[in-house]
Amino acid sequence: MAAPRLIAIIGATGAQGIPIVRDLVQSGAYTVRALTRDASHPRFLELQSFSPSSSSSAAVEPIVGTFTSEDDLRATFRGAWGAFVNIDGFNAGEKTEMFWTIRAYEIALEEGVKVFVLGNLDYVYKKGGYKPEFRCGHYDGKGRIGEWILQQNQDNQDRMKAALFTTGPYMEMAISKHTAMPVSVEPSPDTGAPTAVWRLPLLSGAIPFVSLDDCGPYVKWLFDHPTRANGLDLSVAIAHVSAAELSGAFTKVTGRPAQVLADTPLDEYFSKVWPVDPDLPAAYNADPKDPATLSVRQNFTGFWNSFRHSAGNEGVIKRDYALLDEIHPGRIRSAEAFFRREDEKGVRKGLGTLWERVQPDAMAHVLKLSEDSRTGKL
């Protein structure tokens, strides 16, 4: 049996990174080296608990440092066969993320990495026809550089193959604390019954939700099939989920009433729904005086506008679901299937049913940013 191949990962402790690391190392085909600011962070310790079934030793090596250091990037990539890079745009900001993603690609090439996978998002400003209402910095920053990497790959693929892994909002965000699509439990104005309520400025659009547990199989497939993956933009989602599908699926699984107030105005959303100052920079390390810095309001207006114009897998954001079925036959295919799996998972882990887990005192964090803000680790 061939020795496991080493994958260097930037973004390993993020919501997406954890299941990717888990599935890579538990396959036994890969080991992981992860760049981290803090190797004692609970999320990094969780990574080190993953190991293939044939081994009791940790399969995740830490490199303590930052993606804004060329020396740390070189140390991360040196000797690795593959690389998965997903820089946190809410840390760096659009401009900084673009520069350091370019340098990560270039340094990985220098260091002899053979397969480079970028954690990517849709270039919604371009896909929306370069209209200002679709401008979304944390999407566009990744999308621009994703296109640049595929262009560079035309010249560099004999040295290092490259692919994109394009995701979207995690569906876990709809049942977690402090996200852009928070759920609350409120008395129904008609019956008084406790009801799960989402106030989202979605209108008649649809959200191409992603299941975090599906991310690992997709990324593993890219590394398992480097020739076919080369030059591919693997754009994934569960489905394009409308407001009615979201609330209906929740009720079907939990037996509890649910409602999505999809006509929530953007002004109300920013002032009352999401507890973040909308005039702050969208990235916490971005310079608010820099003209390139978008505010939370500017950034997330484009975010919601892109979904408003993506209903029915048409418009701004599209997915090839037939390709996803081929690559990952066991993928989650509907909001109902996602909620049912989350309900079963919560009961199995002793966290309670899905209904119990969305109660205000029981909701957990899925995003590392919100978790670290709460614990003061930013």
Question: Following DSSP, what letter does each residue of 47-62 receive, concatenated?
Answer: HHT---TT--S--EEE
First to last CA, the chain: 42
pLDDT in tens, 238-293: 999 999 999 999 999 999 999 999 999 999 999 999 888 999 999 998 999 999 99
> Pick from 128, 20, 142: which is nearest to 90 by CA?
142
- List the Cα angle 328/331/335 in 5-degree steps: 155
Instruction: Give me 41's structure tokens.
Output: 């962070």
**Local structure of 276: helix, strand or coil:** coil
| Residue-level pLDDT at 287 | 92
What backbone torsions phi and psi does residue 308 show, to the nearest 5 degrees?
-60, -25
> pLDDT at position 375, please?
37
CA neighbor of 295 nearest in space, from 313, 278, 273, 317: 278
The phi, psi pair for 14, rounded to 5°, reads -75, 175
20-37 average pLDDT score: 96
Question: Above pLDDT 70, what percent of the chain?
Answer: 95
Asked if the model's pLDDT at residue 296 lies above 90, the reply is yes
CA atoms within 13 A on the CB side of 323: 13
Query: What local confidence, expressed as pLDDT, does residue 54 receive?
Result: 53
Contact 80, 4 (CB under 8 A): no
The length of the chain is: 378
- The answer, yes or no, to whether residue 376 has pLDDT greater than 60, is no
The CA distance from 5 to 115, in Å, is: 11
CB atoms closer than 10 angstroms to residue 30: 21
Taking the mean position of all CA atoms in its chain, how far away is CA 273? 21
Instruction: Sketch the domain layout of the chain as residue ranges.
Output: 5-169+209-235
The pLDDT value given to residue 214:
98
Indicate the helix (H) or strand (E) that contains 281: none
| pLDDT at 311 > cutoff 60 | yes
Contacts of 69 (CB under 8 A, 6+ apart): none
Nearest to 104 by CA among 11, 41, 241, 199: 11
Among 15-24, 55-64, 252-261, the least confident range: 55-64
**Mean per-residue pLDDT for 7-34?**
96
- Judge whether residue 378 has pLDDT over 50: no
Say if CB 285 and CB 373 are below 8 A apart: no
pLDDT at 377: 42
At 195 the pLDDT is 97
Position 294 confidence tier, pLDDT thresholds 50, 70, 90:
very high
Q: Region 46-64: what's the mean pLDDT?
A: 79
Contact in structure between 116 and 311 (CB atoms under 8 Å): no
Write the DSSP symbol of residue 187. Answer: E
Range 228-245 average pLDDT: 98
* Integer Cα distance of 29 and 87 in angstroms: 24
* Cβ atoms of 30 and 6 closer than 8 Å: yes
357-369 residues labelled b (16+ CB within 10 A) or e (exposed): bbeeeebebbbbb
Rounded Cα distance between 46 and 22, Å, is 9
Question: What local confidence, expressed as pLDDT, does residue 105 receive?
Answer: 98
pLDDT at residue 53, as a whole number? 59
166 by DSSP, 3-state: which?
strand
CATH 3.40.50.720 fits 5-169+209-235, yes or no: yes
What is the arithmetic mean of pLDDT over 12-22?
A: 96
Stretch 289-304: mean pLDDT, rounded?
Answer: 96
The predicted model gives 3-20 an average pLDDT of 96
On whether the CB atoms of residues 206 and 310 are closer than 8 A, the answer is yes
117-146 confidence digits (pLDDT tens):
999 999 999 999 999 999 999 999 999 999
Alpha helices, H only, the chain? 17-26, 42-48, 70-77, 89-92, 94-110, 124-127, 137-156, 212-224, 226-229, 243-254, 266-268, 296-308, 321-327, 335-348, 354-357, 368-375
Task: Quote the Cα angle for 199-205-207, to 5°.
Answer: 75
pLDDT (tens digit, 9 = 90+) per residue, 314-372? Answer: 999 999 999 999 999 999 999 999 999 999 999 999 999 999 999 999 888 877 555 56
The β-bridge partners of 122 are none
Q: Considering all CA atoms of the chain, what is the largest pairwise distance in Å, rounded to the nearest integer?
A: 65
Give the model confidence (pLDDT) of 206-226 as tens digits.
999 999 999 999 999 999 999
Question: Average model confidence (pLDDT) for the chain?
Answer: 94
Sign of the four-CA dihedral 373, 365, 305, 145: positive
